Structure 1
Amino acid sequence: MAFSATPPRGSLTAEVVIDELPLDEPGLAEARMFIHDVRLSRAGSTIRVKDVAEPVLLSGDALRIPSMPLSARFPSGLKATLITGGTISNLSSDSPGLGLSLRLDPVDLSQLGVDIPQIKRAAGEVRSTLTLEGTTKMPRLSGRLTMKNGLLRLEGFPLPLDDIELDVRIREGEIRVRRAKARAGNTGLLSLSARLPMQGFDITGATATLVARDVKLPVTDGVKMTVNGTLSGSYQTPTDPSQRSLPHITGTVSLTQFAYTRPMSFSIDIDQLTGRGRTVVDTYKPENDLFSFDIQVTSPRPLRLSNNLVDMRLGFVEGGIQLSGTDQRFGARGALRIEQDSKLFLQGHDFAVRDGTVTFDDPTRIVPRLDVHAITEYRRYASSSAAAASTTDASSSAASAGGKWRIAMHAYGHTDEPKVRFTSDPPLSQDDIVLLLQVGMTRAELDRGLAGSLAQTVGIEALSAVTGLGQAVRKTVPIIDEFRVGSQYSSRSGRPEPTVSVGKRISDKVRAGVTTGLSETREVRANLEWKLSRSVSVQGSYDNVNDVSSSILGNVGADLRWRLEFE
């Protein structure tokens, strides 16, 4: 016998009495062994047998082992007592008979985590019995293992398991998990049943079913997920030892609740509107696969994403998402539909999603393919000086005249190589639309001597992005869910000026926002949107930009928006 680590060490103190030893028929020997002390240790674990009351008896072609207590102790302090004994008959035959038993006295698992780094805490009481019968050629194993009042806390697995109950039986050539259940978190329930056929001491296959109900998965901060699911696993030992057989998992997982509120980062760049793909290095080695799976993911209600960048509801297309592959290489097939009342928040502008889908079509990777159409209205207040300015550029003329632009965005392609296109009415070029959204001006206006003020405001935006100022403020002042330092074109000064925008989603149907300038003009713009239904909303607005009258009150307005849908 070879040991990869430290070999066991031990000692035996016993008295052997040989009453009869016929050399021509050793099976008829008569001998007794009185065990006084047995010690066996390895890597800090010890097993000891002490003061066995009756001797081990060799008589009548049989070996009789009396009831023998074995005391085991592990480095964590965990202790266990096992009682063994029985008979081995027909020793002189080519297949001696077996009649051995092993009983594990109740074991407290509270010290288990001390010795195993992956276990933070454990508790429960374990009992077990095991019987070995039959012959050495055809052994029959039977027994039972139970656990009650169990508790488990695993390192790196934030879901606590409580009220663990386990009942495992071994009989008639199979291991059967009759009952295994636990409470997962505050509301979740887990139950497991399994069957493992055996041939002698070898397991020839396995089937198992795991049922989960109302399990809240603590994925990470800002992600809430509650799932129901039924997963079935199977394994069959290959008839050819040279062939590999992987355990296979199938089933359905239903997301009964999903909310994503983690902040996202996104920027639009004039020079990279077409995106740049990432280089993927494939290091897949099939021989390292541990299991394969084919799982369907569905949801009875839309998935919710709500943060600084999006306010979306994603509904599953009929059939859901199919996840399949192995633990090393897996992909997804299916589609999600973006509901039409969803919104994108880009550069302080709200884009209303008209239609959109997220499609998964790669069986080897999870790379969503986007196709999203969204629209926003950009308003800029025109000053008398801006309105009177002359230019020969069409884009410049449209922009300097102020007014309103209807800007449409089309985002499409795979997420690792996305493409974004903008169009507007009145028409502007791609560059002008991006600059209008970022700094409130077109390229032609920048070419007319406003580069200095532009550099100042763009620098403020860049500093905010690099330092994470917006995210820090949202954490410090949790009553707001939007804080952005940016810039906006000022009709009073005729140039972009730094601004601070603060927003709050009061409820699912009401959102408020305020933008104020940081320069001497102190321009303030505020809006309040109330969604009356899926297609009707009321928006109130206020600003103190007075280009027509000299009122100190400012401008107050209201819009009634009614969306018509055609199919």
Structure 2
Amino acid sequence: MRKKILISIGIFFIIIILALVGLLFLSQTQYFRNIARTTAEGIVSSTTGQTFTIGGLEGNFFNNITLSDVSFIVEGENFVSVKKITLDYALIHMLNNATLFSKVIPVDELLITGLDVNLIKYSDETWNFEKIGSSEEKPTENQESSPPNWSIILSKFLLTDAQITTDDRAENKVSKYEIPEVDLSVKLIDIYRAIDLDLKNAAFNAPDQNISITGLSTKAYYSDEKVSIENLKVLFNDAEIKLNAEAENLTDKPKFSFDASANNFVIENIGTVNLETKGSGQYISSNDIRANATIKIPESEILQKKISGTLEEISMSGTTMNISGGNFDSDLGVIKLDGDIDLNRIISKTGNHNFDITLSLNNIKTTEIFSLLEAATNTPSELPIDTQLGAVLNSEIKATGNWEEFSDLGVKADIKKFEIKGEQAGNLQLSGTADYSSSGAGVDINLNLAEVNLGSILADQNFYSKITSKFDIQAKIPLQGNLLENLSADIEGSFEPSSIFGINLTDGVVDVSYENQILDIKSLALNADKNKLVVSGKSPQKLGADFTYDLEVENLSFISGISPDLAISGTLKAAGDVTGSLNNPDITIDGEVLNFSMDEKYSAKSIKIDGSGTLSNQDPDLKAKVNIDTLAINKKEIREITLDVTSEGAAINADLNIIEDDQFQYKMKASLLDLSSTQKDIQISELVLKLEDTTLDNRDNILLTIAPSSFVLQNFNLYHNNSSALADANISNNGNIDGSLKLTNLDLDDITKALEFQTPLQGTINANIELQGTMQNPAINANIQTQNLQYNDFDNDNIRFDLNYLNQNMDLNFVISNDSVDILSAKGSSNINLNLNDVGKSIENASINLSIDSSGLNISPLSSLVDDVVKSEGELIIDLNASGKLKTPTVNGKIELQEAKLQTKTIRNEIGIPKALIEMNGQKAVLQTLELTTGNGSASFQGELDIPTFSYTLSGDLDNFLIKPERISAALTGDLKVKGEGEKVDISGKITVEKARITIPDSEPKEIPEIQYVDAEQDEFEVESGQEENYFDKNVALNMQVKLIRNNWVKGQGANIELKGDLDIRKNYSQSLRIIGDINVIRGTYDNFGKVFRIEEGIVSFSGGQEIDPFLDITALYRVSSNNIYINISGRASEPKIALTSDPAMSETDIVSFLIFGASSSDISSGERSAVGGIASGLAGGIAAAQLQRLMGNAVSLDVVSISGTNLEVGKYLTEDLYIAYERGTTDSIINSTNITYNKVIVEYQIFKNVTIEADIGGENPGADLFYNFNF
């Protein structure tokens, strides 16, 4: 029997083992895993009403499970996704009797990798996680359930590479939060009855908020009776934070304590703070919290200022917090704080808040405070204070107050002391009381100022002042209701000698009060050197004011001191009185401004104002007259302006007369019909424009309506005989436009004279223009026609321009005809989305189809359109068709210029253009020929231009081509090639210069601000000098060979010099100019200081270096008393070496004596001999310019007197482009005892912006040398 039982038991265990083995094998099959995966997906998806998927499921289910690519989709968008979840456990251990008996679920490890959570806030303010749940939760009975009596022990939880994204679509803001790692273990006793957490390490990053948390670790415990946090350590943005905290008796009057610190806590743009705090307390009830704490701030740095301090005790009893021992010491000074704050409403939700605080500031350095403000605002230049004021602030203020809601705040302040004192700022002292409530504010203060400088305080020396005064001020200022009805104030004080805005006050007194709507000015007087303000009044018998005023200002320039943008000058005198209600006082004024000027644009001999009245909207009573005598606006003088203003009922009438001179006078009578109306209607009953012998006037009233929603012009009309100008316009705030303009037989001569055109137009104009629609989508119809138009030599019978625009389609027609023949016509259309608010953008996208034809258009108006052209004549023949985009059109056809002549300011000789032909082929322009003639010379050019890229290639030949810029005449022969793109230009070629004549004027002022050219047939015009631009250096490349052959002369001011040479001029983009070659002086003389100099031989060599520093080799001869004195100049121009020799040989003193006095040093006086010795030694070691000036005297007005090494130089600028210098050396004569002076002359002439000619002349006998510089 026993055997059978044993066999039965054995068979049972075998079956169990086989079942377990079978289950083990079954769990490893893909079929089982698919069932488990789909079952889990179905349960979660059906429960939540969303989509839950598991990409892969692995593990043996007995000790581990691994899920991969887990995804939870909410409303079609990813909510949670996990790359991998691994759960390690021991199923056998879980099923152990001891484990089951203790009701503990042990989990070895839970690993989560690649967690990605997306939190979406929709535009309706709901979140995506709120969509989870297929049906509404059933309400549960309100009963407290006990936690399950099962516990979970998780030995290791590791989360890596996690990310949380919040997408706030309501605010269009996306934030990302990174969790690199969380490593912890946790015990959940009865799931949540007690939690024991051991956080070993955690990290968290929020890049958008600039938050980084690393190294977070702590041990925490939670139960119904106790919460504790032990040894919490964390690096928050590299700041070390520590915390220990504990709370006990959570269910009955809990007690709490804490000890925390933060080290090296960086607040961006503020500084680094260290903080220590410790405290404890007990929560008795919501109305009774008892606690004590201390706060220490170890040495910290705020805005680069050191600070430390303590709040020795912060205690709380009931709802009242007491602060005592607040003492903070810093680089700013010392701040002390004590007081009580009752937080009753915050804590108990009933009653009011109250506070009683005393704040003391001792020796606070304003410089440091302002520096803090500067750093905090990060805009130091915008701070309205001088951050280096150097004043010291001391104050003691006791403030009490209460509030239920912050809008009900009431504050009373007892200002025992408030003082700012500094050497630059002066001394300001204030004491008294102040109060504030939602209904009003009040002050009762005593203010003393001693030499207070507003310029130093406001960091603006335009407000420089030294104010010394004493004032007692009492005021009640209402913040609700009518200000004038409820305001009361009493100001009494005096000024001692002070200055402000450049006005020196000798004395002043103020005694003014306002109460019950009565302004009582007992005394108000400010007296200055020659300025005064005196206001005297008496206590009014009824509401309002009753006082007179008298104002005198000697110079209004003090306004410029206040506002430097306004340059105002003149004198002012004004007097009058003010009576009646302050809401609408009756004011009289009798004032005059003399010699007024503003900003050098406006000036007047006198401005007189005489008026009286009130400006009540309902019933104005106004009578005023303004007279302006000799007004100038931008140098345009107007003889007189008068304006008379009167009121009639609710209307204001104005009568304006402007007399420019006897020929031009203007008159207008207008009325503002109802001042009280929101809509302002202005009726112009008379408008007269007298333009020489033509008078334009209106025949019907013109009405202007200015309303909040629109501007309307009705019936604008001006007539002269059969000529008229009529207009109407209605412009609404919503952008709608409806306007028209009609001109009939209007004389263009009158218009151009009124507008002061330099060259008036002759002829008549008729126009009909209509504009409707909106600024963004207008409808335009314009027809403009002129008859018998004359402008310079341009004379045409008729010009007609028609334009029509509607619904993005524009048609235009432009025709010029003469003798009933069309000489120019332009017809076409455009597809353009025209927006009058942004015309530039409209043009960018416009397409065109345009044809232009001309049988011969007179080009004489070119002289008025192009500043450099003085005179132009010839005919322009055009045959063009353009299509495509307006910015990059396709153009075909030709442009031809025939028998044209031009005269320009730059090249003053007349240039003939027998023929010029440009052929347009698509987006390329080909210059087939351009023929130029000047004198007996000629030039021809050909080339191509690519329109879209604006790249071009031109080539030309010059044959004896004559140019005549100012004081220069030269003939050029050679070839040129010019190519470029955009701003870049590359010029190459070979040019020969001959027959050059450079004329030096006999007499010119030293400096000329601009060069003036005068033509007998033209008005004077001028080319003003300006700052050199960087264009040449950056955008110009050169490869030029320049040859100067014989017969090139520089003449004038005693000079007569011939020169020749060959130069290679090279330059790459953004590189320096390089010159290679030699310049030789063939012959030449220079006559000055009564002596003639001759160059024996001379050469200036350019080596092509990066710096233009040529090598000099010059020999000059001056002959005196049968003695030959030689000057030899060699070396680089920057450091020339000069040697003086003579034949026969002489001492250096004798050479100098011969050069200066024409005799040996032994044959001159002792005084002259001393001067010669000084110059001789100066030639060897340098001589002071002042000594040379005294020696040579002031017979010649010199601009330069200097000596460098052995060079003595005296020079004069004859014009801003021409410089002449005279140089001396000395040598001894061996033939006789006389001394002679070597002489050298330097001539520098700037031909144009980057090229200068320099010539050196000097030596034993009359001669010359040439020196070229290229300035860039």
- Residue in structure 2 matching 1:178, options 916, 924, 928: 928
The corresponding residue for 1:322 is 1065
Inter-CA distance 337–138: structure 2 relative to 1 (3 Å threshold):
closer
Map 1:189-208 → 2, pairs under 5 A: 189-198=938-947, 202-203=948-949, 205-208=951-954
Task: Between 147-156 and 363-372, report the one with greater CA deviation.
Answer: 363-372
The corresponding residue for 2:21 is none
In the alignment, the residues of structure 2 paired with residue 167 and residue 197 of structure 1 have an alpha-carbon distance, to the nearest angstrom, of: 16
Instruction: Report the structure, 1 or 2, having the larger strand content.
Output: 2
Map 1:66-465 → 2, pairs under 5 A: 69-71=813-815, 81-85=824-828, 100-104=850-854, 106-132=856-882, 140-184=890-934, 186-198=935-947, 202-203=948-949, 205-221=951-967, 223-236=968-981, 246-260=984-998, 262=1000, 285=1030, 289-301=1034-1046, 303-305=1048-1050, 312-316=1057-1061, 320-322=1063-1065, 324=1067, 330-339=1073-1082, 353-361=1095-1103, 368-379=1110-1121, 404-413=1122-1131, 418-446=1136-1164, 448=1166, 462=1193, 464-465=1195-1196
In the alignment, the residues of structure 1 paired with residue 1149 and residue 1104 of structure 2 have an alpha-carbon distance, to the nearest angstrom, of: 33
Q: Secondary structure at the match of 2:1123?
A: strand
Kept in 2: contact 1:450–1:495 (CA 8 A): no
How far did 1:147 drift? 1.6
Q: Which amino acid aligns with 1:262?
A: I
How far did 1:98 drift? 8.2
Higher Rg: 2
1:101-160 Cα deviation digits (max 9, x unpaired): 333463222233234443322222222222245899997431211121212222343132
In the alignment, the residues of structure 1 paired with residue 1047 and residue 1102 of structure 2 have an alpha-carbon distance, to the nearest angstrom, of: 17
Inter-CA distance 224–420: structure 2 relative to 1 (3 Å threshold):
farther
Inter-CA distance 363–233: structure 2 relative to 1 (3 Å threshold):
farther
Inter-CA distance 377–149: structure 2 relative to 1 (3 Å threshold):
closer
Q: Which amino acid aligns with 2:990?
A: T
In the alignment, the residues of structure 2 paired with residue 87 and residue 376 of structure 1 have an alpha-carbon distance, to the nearest angstrom, of: 78
How far did 1:357 drift? 0.8
Kept in 1: contact 2:769–2:783 (CA 8 A): yes
Inter-CA distance 177–136: structure 2 relative to 1 (3 Å threshold):
closer
In the alignment, the residues of structure 1 paired with residue 1085 and residue 1156 of structure 2 have an alpha-carbon distance, to the nearest angstrom, of: 18
Kept in 1: contact 2:1044–2:1059 (CA 8 A): no
Kept in 1: contact 2:873–2:902 (CA 8 A): yes
How far did 1:194 drift? 1.5
Q: Which amino acid aligns with 1:197?
A: D
How far did 1:414 drift? 5.2
Q: What TM-score do you get using the length of structure 1 for normalisation?
A: 0.51
In the alignment, the residues of structure 2 paired with residue 426 and residue 329 of structure 1 have an alpha-carbon distance, to the nearest angstrom, of: 47
Kept in 2: contact 1:146–1:168 (CA 8 A): yes
Kept in 1: contact 2:997–2:1051 (CA 8 A): yes
Inter-CA distance 347–413: structure 2 relative to 1 (3 Å threshold):
farther
In the alignment, the residues of structure 2 paired with residue 305 and residue 135 of structure 1 have an alpha-carbon distance, to the nearest angstrom, of: 54
How far did 1:332 drift? 2.6
Q: Which amino acid aligns with 1:233?
A: V
Q: Secondary structure at the match of 1:159?
A: coil
Inter-CA distance 136–427: structure 2 relative to 1 (3 Å threshold):
closer
The corresponding residue for 1:562 is none
Structure number with greater CO (CA < 8 Å, separation at least 6) is 1
How far did 1:439 drift? 0.7
How many pairs align?
Answer: 366
Inter-CA distance 452–86: structure 2 relative to 1 (3 Å threshold):
closer
Q: Secondary structure at the match of 1:157?
A: coil
1:350-398 Cα deviation digits (max 9, x unpaired): 555443211234556666543111334421xxxxxxxxxxxxxxxxxxx
Inter-CA distance 57–459: structure 2 relative to 1 (3 Å threshold):
closer
Kept in 2: contact 1:347–1:438 (CA 8 A): no
- Structure 2, unmatched stretches of 5+, are 1-739, 742-767, 773-778, 786-798, 832-844, 1004-1026, 1173-1188, 1200-1232, 1236-1260, 1262-1272
In the alignment, the residues of structure 2 paired with residue 343 and residue 96 of structure 1 have an alpha-carbon distance, to the nearest angstrom, of: 67
1:504-558 Cα deviation digits (max 9, x unpaired): xxxxxxxxxxxxxxxxxxxxxxxxx9xxxxxxxxxxxxxxxxxxxxxxxxxxxxx
Kept in 1: contact 2:1150–2:1161 (CA 8 A): yes
How far did 1:294 drift? 2.1
In the alignment, the residues of structure 1 paired with residue 869 and residue 889 of structure 2 have an alpha-carbon distance, to the nearest angstrom, of: 35
In the alignment, the residues of structure 2 paired with residue 367 and residue 219 of structure 1 have an alpha-carbon distance, to the nearest angstrom, of: 28
Q: Which amino acid aligns with 1:253?
A: I
How far did 1:308 drift? 6.3
How far did 1:197 drift? 2.8
Q: Which amino acid aligns with 2:894?
A: R
In the alignment, the residues of structure 1 paired with residue 1137 and residue 928 of structure 2 have an alpha-carbon distance, to the nearest angstrom, of: 54
1:302-323 Cα deviation digits (max 9, x unpaired): 6445666665543425xx4435
Inter-CA distance 110–87: structure 2 relative to 1 (3 Å threshold):
closer
Q: Secondary structure at the match of 1:113?
A: helix
How far did 1:345 drift? 5.8
- Structure 1, unmatched stretches of 5+, are 1-8, 16-33, 41-46, 74-78, 89-94, 238-244, 266-281, 380-403, 469-493, 497-528, 530-567
Kept in 2: contact 1:298–1:316 (CA 8 A): yes
Q: Which amino acid aligns with 2:1147?
A: S
In the alignment, the residues of structure 2 paired with residue 87 and residue 448 of structure 1 have an alpha-carbon distance, to the nearest angstrom, of: 93
In the alignment, the residues of structure 2 paired with residue 64 and residue 463 of structure 1 have an alpha-carbon distance, to the nearest angstrom, of: 74
Kept in 2: contact 1:325–1:364 (CA 8 A): no
The corresponding residue for 2:795 is none
How far did 1:206 drift? 0.8
Q: Which amino acid aligns with 1:250?
A: S
Q: Secondary structure at the match of 1:141?
A: strand
In the alignment, the residues of structure 2 paired with residue 447 and residue 119 of structure 1 have an alpha-carbon distance, to the nearest angstrom, of: 62
Task: Between 304-313 and 438-447, report the one with greater CA deviation.
Answer: 304-313
In the alignment, the residues of structure 2 paired with residue 70 and residue 283 of structure 1 have an alpha-carbon distance, to the nearest angstrom, of: 41
In the alignment, the residues of structure 2 paired with residue 86 and residue 249 of structure 1 have an alpha-carbon distance, to the nearest angstrom, of: 40
Inter-CA distance 113–329: structure 2 relative to 1 (3 Å threshold):
farther
How far did 1:38 drift? 4.1
Task: Between 435-444 and 133-142, report the one with greater CA deviation.
Answer: 133-142
Q: Which amino acid aligns with 1:209?
A: S
Kept in 2: contact 1:331–1:364 (CA 8 A): yes
In the alignment, the residues of structure 1 paired with residue 998 and residue 923 of structure 2 have an alpha-carbon distance, to the nearest angstrom, of: 48
1:311-358 Cα deviation digits (max 9, x unpaired): 5543425xx44354679964532112334x655667655555443211
1:238-292 Cα deviation digits (max 9, x unpaired): xxxxxxx611010111012234463799xxxxxxxxxxxxxxxx99846974432
